[in-house]
Amino acid sequence: MSVLVYTESEQGKYKKSAFEVASYGSALAEKMGTGVSAVAFNAEDAGALGNYGVGKVLQVSDASFESFTAAKYAKAIAAAAKQENATVVVLSSSANSKYLAPLLAVELEAGYASNVIALPDDVSNFKVKRNAFTNKAYAFTSISSDIKLVGVSNNSFGVTEKGGSATVEPFAPDASADGVSVDGQDKAAGKVTIADADIVVSGGRGLKGPENWNMVEELADVLGAATACSKPVSDMGWRPHSEHVGQTGKPVASNLYIAIGISGAIQHLAGINASKVKVVINTDPEAPFFKAADYGVVGDAFTVVPQLIEKLKAFKAAG
């Protein structure tokens, strides 16, 4: 019996989610009275997970795993789980983790709870609280299979540093090719993505046209944030589809979501509701978004946002 966490890295660096799932896995292992290991692929400084309570890291050092393909990764993680006698496997909620999770579940004949936001109260019935109804409610899901698969929601459990160290062991899973091959990728380099961002700055129709987006990008820059947009804005081609957040767009689970000129249609709210703090800037005091917001400014974005940018620059400069 043990806990295994799949810790993601990109270009050799652990992603923030790696530390969050390690923290979750470590706390869970403590509750279960057992140990926690991690499986990592081509991570530099693999042992860094020790700081989050992980005892051992199974490190796959294999160039053929540089490019992510779900079935191949699922098989490798399943092999690690079997080797470690893992009874719980913990994943993040990244797109890649969600892609491989169902394949991994079937490999391990495991029940899978996704979008989990807390530890089980009782490890014997393994009932976990998760987001459901597109962030409008919570479900408590009990997993009854011998091996259980948990997908932890971003920014839900938090990161707990324990100051330990982890041993790193080489792990060489089957590297035979996936049935799906990747032919090419088209990715904006360097920009923080909506999935990874702590802060997301989003613009809607209230900005009147694509020519007015400079201030959205500048505000995002100052905050180190990702840029996003509402559905009408991407439908009209003002911004790329990849920025559309909402029910049929990307989900947002960042710490801060700043909505500029977005009225707050239900489908939009559904997609961004997992964000912790919502700030709404809109000229219309009746905009539905204000009911869902934590902080709001009723005002003209074209005066408010530039001022906010200047004040934030000063705030950041003051340290």
Partner 1 sequence: MKILVCISHVPDTTSKINFAEGDTKFDANGVQFVINPNDEFGLTRAMWFKEKQGASVDVINVGGAETEPTLRKALAIGADKAIRVNTEAKDGYQVAGELAKVAQDGGYDLIIGGRESIDYNGGMVPGMVAAMMGASFINNCIGLEVDGSSVTASREIDGGKESVSTSFPLVVGGQKGIVDESDLRIPNMRGIMMARQKPLEVVEPSGTAVKSASVQFEKPAPKGAVKLVDPENLDELISLLHNEAKVI
Please identify which residue in 101, 152, 201, 245 interacts with partner 1, judged by CB under 8 A: 101
Contact call for residue 111 and partner 1 (CB under 8 A): yes
Contact call for residue 119 and partner 1 (CB under 8 A): no
Contact call for residue 102 and partner 1 (CB under 8 A): yes
Contact call for residue 279 and partner 1 (CB under 8 A): yes
Residue 192 β-bridge partners = none
- Interface of this chain with partner 1, residues 159 to 178, rule: CB under 8 A: none
Q: How crowded is residue 283: how many other Cβ atoms within 10 Å of its Cβ?
A: 14
Interatomic CA distance for residues 268 and 274, integer angstroms = 12
| Residue number with CB closer to partner 1 (1 or 106) | 106
Contact call for residue 266 and partner 1 (CB under 8 A): yes
3-state secondary structure of 311: helix
Please identify which residue in 63, 109, 163, 319 interacts with partner 1, judged by CB under 8 A: 109
CB 244 within 8 A of CB 230: yes
Question: CA separation (Å) from 216 to 159, 187, 297?
Answer: 30, 21, 16
Q: Which stretch binds partner 1 (CB under 8 A): 26-34, 45-53, 159-167, 262-270?
A: 262-270
- Interface of this chain with partner 1, residues 224 to 253, rule: CB under 8 A: 235, 241-242, 244, 247-249
- Residues sharing a CB contact under 8 Å with residue 240, sequence separation 6 or more, in sequence order: 234
| Residue number with CB closer to partner 1 (37 or 141) | 141
The first and second tokens of residue 120, run together, are 């089980």
Residue 14 β-bridge partners = 9
Please identify which residue in 44, 85, 106, 210 interacts with partner 1, judged by CB under 8 A: 106
CB 244 within 8 A of CB 229: yes
Rounded least distance, CB 168 to partner 1, Å: 26
Interatomic CA distance for residues 15 and 113, integer angstroms = 22
Residue 203 β-bridge partners = 229, 260
Burial class (CB in 10 A: 0-12, 13-18, 19+), 281: buried
Rounded least distance, CB 144 to partner 1, Å: 6
Q: Which stretch binds partner 1 (CB under 8 A): 19-27, 53-61, 203-211, 311-319?
A: 311-319
Rounded least distance, CB 100 to partner 1, Å: 8
Rounded least distance, CB 166 to partner 1, Å: 26
- Interface of this chain with partner 1, residues 10 to 49, rule: CB under 8 A: none
Rounded least distance, CB 306 to partner 1, Å: 10
Contact call for residue 312 and partner 1 (CB under 8 A): yes
Interatomic CA distance for residues 169 and 238, integer angstroms = 49
Q: At residue 167, what are phi and psi to the nearest 5 degrees? A: -80, 150
